Amino acid sequence: MAEAVQTIPRVFLGEALKQLRADSKKTLDGAAEAAGKDRARLIKVLDGKATLLAEELEALVDYLEASPTRRKEILALGVEARKRPTDSPYTDLVEGSYRRVAWLEAMAKDIWIYEKGIYPYLIQSPEYIDALMSASEGIWWDESGDERSKRVAFRIERQRLVFEAEKKKQVEIMFTDDALTAEVGNAEVMRKQCEHVLQVIDKYANMTVRIVPATAKDNPAQHGGLSMLRFGEVLRPVGFLPVVYGPSTYFDKATDTERLLRAFNKLRELALSPEETRRYFESS
């Protein structure tokens, strides 16, 4: 099969296979043999630059001893990866789509995040995360202590993958000031969240935090959040709109990411400076 264009679903498939092979402790050569490919070809698949036929992928995940749940997910990603690329945004309909956002963030060199009325996930304290998940339980997913604890743990791990990456990422975070008054959990949770933001600002020199006044005129993102990931030469920029429920949709075509860039540039004009933002928190 000819080498494919690098696309988001192929990147997802490659990352899922990387993780599965690492967990299985099987060699790259053994995995390539199981898939009926040479080592170089399998590396391209793992890098999101090539695909596998259905029977090749099935042989590979069986060799890597995937659990039934993981096998189902990877085979579904394979179906998406084999589809012909289009000019439309990619909507990740495979189960567990919320987890794959973290895969792209782990690869990114630059992360830009804007949220309205809520603290962005990267600066959420453990207490704030738990309160958010408690509010969603029984609404966006069935009441289950296991599901809630998994989502809390995933959110914290998502933060760790960004801030403890071997190569420091440049992170820019903006959010509206009504996040400070939109109570999540209780007053004590909000107090700790405010303290947490100041601690994060002090700890991570590679992160910029800025408040956008909720009353700012001509806010192009007044109806919701925006995110942009940039990867250098590895992959073209990817933008997405954070969602509370449902699949994630990714935008990687130049016409779409240029619009998102214009929106972020406008938000930067409206935002307080990092120094003003810090003083705002200190006085809150």
Fold classification of 91-282 is: Endonuclease; Chain A (3.30.870)
Please compute the mean of the pLDDT values over residues 3-14 and round it to a whole number.
82
Confidence at residue 1, expressed as pLDDT on a 0 to 100 scale: 44
Condensed to tens digits (0 to 9), the pLDDT of residues 186-208 reads 999 999 999 999 999 999 999 99
In the block, tokens 């995360």 appear at 129
Can you tell me the distance from the alpha carbon of 109 to that of 100, in angstroms, rounded to the nearest whole number?
A: 17
Confidence at residue 4, expressed as pLDDT on a 0 to 100 scale: 53
Confidence at residue 122, expressed as pLDDT on a 0 to 100 scale: 95
Mean pLDDT, rounded, of the chain:
92
Contact 272, 114 (CB under 8 A): no
2 confidence band (pLDDT: 50, 70, 90): very low
Domain(s) labelled CATH 3.30.870 in the chain stretch across 91-282
Condensed to tens digits (0 to 9), the pLDDT of residues 207-252 reads 999 999 999 999 999 888 999 999 988 789 999 988 877 788 999 9
86 confidence band (pLDDT: 50, 70, 90): confident
> What is each CA distance from 129 to 54, 96, 210, 221, in whole angstroms?
39, 19, 20, 23
Domain(s) labelled CATH 1.10.260.40 in the chain stretch across 8-82
Confidence at residue 62, expressed as pLDDT on a 0 to 100 scale: 97
Confidence at residue 146, expressed as pLDDT on a 0 to 100 scale: 81
Confidence at residue 144, expressed as pLDDT on a 0 to 100 scale: 66
Can you tell me the distance from the alpha carbon of 10 to that of 282, in angstroms, rounded to the nearest whole number?
A: 45
CATH of the structural domain 8-82, one choice from 3.50.50.60, 1.10.260.40, 3.30.70.1140, 3.40.50.10490: 1.10.260.40
Q: Phi and psi (nearest 5°) for 179?
A: -60, -30
Confidence at residue 54, expressed as pLDDT on a 0 to 100 scale: 97
